[in-house]
Amino acid sequence: MIRLLDSRLCLALLLLALSAYNRAEGVEVSGAIPKDTVWKRGSVIVVKADAIVPTGAMLTIEPGVVVKFRAGESGEGGARLVVEGRLNSLGTPAEPVVFTSERDDTVGGDSNGDGDASKPLPGDWGCVKIVGAGSTLQGCSFRYAGGKDVGGGGHSALFISGSTAPVDVTACDFTDSAGAGLLYRQGVHHLAPRIIANSATRCAAGIVVEGIGLTRAEIMRNNISECGIGIVICGADPSIEENRLTGNLGHPLKLVDGASPRCRWNDVRNNGLQSVLISGVIDEVEIWGPMQSLGIPFLLAPDLELRGGSHVSIRPGTVIKIPCRKPGEEPRNLFFRGALKACGTWEEPIIFTSERDDTCGGDSNGDGLASAPDWGDWGTLVTSQVTDIIEHCVFRYGKYSANNFDGVDRNRILWIQGGGEHVDPINCEFYPR
């Protein structure tokens, strides 16, 4: 009996020793990080709970460092690194700085000591959140993040907000984020950050830029693929140049709340929904054009609201698609409550059509030949301002026939009402006749 107990004790001790041996050595951190800390090359850092770089402090991360974060349980978002001071994280192509889940055994070893029992997943940990000025990120890899809401802005791997100086993000890689790869929000100070030569793969969105303070931002030479949406711009007019937005599941570009970026020389191909999605509220001057090098149409989201103070100018050659009604629903009407200037030309008319119309702007709904446009796919374009101009426009597959607007049966694709009764459409075409 004593020998049997001894053998069991030895086995237990052996298993404990093996577990300790299998667990990769790492420095555990949480809470406030001491001032001017340096995480040395080759180190493995395990963030067990939210770690904070306090105001006035700087954290330097050398090339080759692996930072692992405790994974959340039961929907809780896992640990974060919150930077109120400064973060200087400069990796290289050969030795990137890696931010990842503690379940990721491909870098830094088996940090949670469970062998193959757990696998990393999108949203395992929270994010790197930067709210202070003076940080620099280059050559960093963010994996399996986006598991915790970052202050009302949704989920992301890297969240930058409220800085008084631009934070540049260059040559970083975002993969498998449950939210955006990068979410940059700025509403007070006008900054010109550079978001250059990054990549995003299998994220809910690649890059999200929000706020009027980022109108001078540069989004250049980024490679975004296999994401839900490529780039999202909300309320800002940054420069979007030389990006590769290919093979994403949804739209390559989404513009929210009057965003009007400057786009050129972008490669936009083979996305699930080949159109620029326009959504949110527009209450100021807005220009819709052929998006320069994008070569794809606009799709007006169901939640788009064109308020009375809006001034929408549509350039020649623009193709605007309207979502189709679902079975049992009435067609969607397009209300221009503010001013509208839609001036096409003989050579480049402005086209309003169904999202199912593949003959104009290509296969925007991504279903190939599974659907075809039909009369009444959408309803009526309604405008009412005496200053409105509608010239050389083509209206396809609209018309609304129901008791609507002022209680009178309407059957028209273009309705100029109220103060706009003196507006005469010039050289416009309507299909089907």
DSSP 27: E
Q: Which of 65, 76, 77 has the alpha carbon at shortest distance from 27?
A: 65
Strand partners, 39: 61
Q: Report pLDDT for 115.
A: 82
Share in percent of the chain as helix, strand, coil (round to 5) = 5, 40, 55
Residue 405 has pLDDT above 50, yes or no: no
d(CA 53, CA 302) in angstroms, rounded, equals: 42
List residues bridging with 281 in a β-sheet: 305
Q: Could you give the C-alpha distances from 41 to 93, 238, 298, 376, in angstroms and in order?
A: 14, 36, 47, 64
Q: Annotate 174-194 with DSSP letters as a single string.
A: EES-SSEEEEEE-SSS----E
Instruction: Name the band, by pLDDT with cuts 50, 70 and 90, for residue 118.
Output: confident
Helix (H) or strand (E) holding 288: strand 285-288
Average pLDDT, stretch 163-184?
Answer: 94
Model confidence pLDDT, tens digit, residues 281-320: 998 878 887 665 677 999 999 999 998 888 899 999 999 9
d(CA 393, CA 306): 19
Q: Is 267 helix (H, G, I), strand (E, B) or coil?
A: strand
In whole angstroms, what is the distance from residue 24 CA to residue 223 CA? 33
* Residue at 294: amino acid letter: L
Host H or E run for residue 339: strand 339-343
* Backbone torsions φ then ψ of 182, nearest 5 degrees: -120, 130
What's the chain's average pLDDT? Answer: 86
Q: Which residue has the higher pLDDT, 40 or 407?
A: 40
For residues 87-107, give the mean pLDDT. Answer: 96
Residue environment code for 242-269, b if the CB has 16+ CB neighbours within 10 A, otherwise e:
ebbbbbbbbbbbbbbbbbbbebeebebe
How do residues 352-377 score in pLDDT, each as one tens digit? 999 999 999 999 988 998 999 998 89
How far is 114 from 130, CA to CA, in rounded Å?
A: 32
Task: Examine the pLDDT at 216 and tell me if it is beyond 70.
Answer: yes
pLDDT band at 240 (very low <50, low <70, confident <90, very high): very high
Q: Is the pLDDT of residue 267 over 70?
A: yes
The pLDDT tens digits for 2-43 are: 454 455 544 444 444 444 434 556 799 999 998 899 999 999
The C-alpha atoms of residue 25 and residue 28 are separated, in whole angstroms, by: 9
Question: Within 13 Å, how many C-alpha atoms sit on residue 339's CB side?
Answer: 13
**Contact by Cβ (8 Å): 351, 396:** yes
Higher pLDDT: 76 or 240? It is 240
* pLDDT at position 46 over 60: yes
Instruction: Name the percent of the chain lying above pLDDT 90.
Output: 60
Q: Which domains does the chain have, with CATH numbers?
A: 25-272 (2.160.20), 281-433 (no CATH)
Q: How far apart are the first and last CA of the chain?
A: 97
Choose the weakest-confidence range: 86-90, 277-281, 327-331: 327-331
Token pair 């970052």 is found at 150
* Cβ contact 126:77 at 8 Å: yes
Q: Using CA of residue 291, residue 297, residue 299, residue 304, what is the dihedral sign?
A: positive
180 pLDDT above the threshold of 90: yes
The span from the CA of 205 to the CA of 252, in Å, is 9
Q: Is the pLDDT higher at 57 or at 13?
A: 57
Q: Exposure pattern of 30-48 as b/e (b: 16+ CB <10 Å)?
A: eeebeeeeebeeebbbbbe
Please report which confidence band the pLDDT of residue 431 belongs to, taking 50, 70 and 90 as the band edges.
Answer: confident
